[in-house]
Amino acid sequence: MTLEDELHGWLEHMARSYAVGDAAACARMFSEDAMLHSPFAPPAHGRAEIEILHRDWTRTATAKRFDILSFGGSGDLAWILARFSEGDTGTGTTLAVLDRSAGTGWLCKACSLNEEQI
């Protein structure tokens, strides 16, 4: 499997978890010490805060879609720049830095969401 396939799978898992309103599953995709920055909420530090954010965001089931714009990696570190679209939020971009370990696979260490300005 290529790095692109792995990262695409990670994004698809996030989209499915989001669409069914599973905030805990969304949060498990982040490391315990992850940071998430978004124009839609205050910064979240750590998996517990990230789950709280996702509980609010996934309160109503909404289809979410990601399209990879660019990606890269070296060893067990990777990054993804993707466009997202979803329900009321609309569209924007996300930049995520991921770390891979044998026990957990890819987990997000840092994520920044940005609203698309029209």
CATH of the domain at 48: 3.10.450.50
- Enclosing domain of residue 37: 3-115
- How many structural domains comprise the chain? 1
Query: pLDDT tens for residues 60-97?
Result: 867 888 999 999 999 999 999 999 988 666 788 999 99
C-beta separation of 107 from 99 below 8 A: yes
Share of the chain above pLDDT 90, in %: 69
| pTM of the model as a whole | 0.90
**How is the beta sheet containing 105-115 ordered, strand by strand?**
41-45, 30-38, 105-115, 90-101, 77-86, 64-74
Query: Mean of the per-residue pLDDT values for the chain?
Result: 91
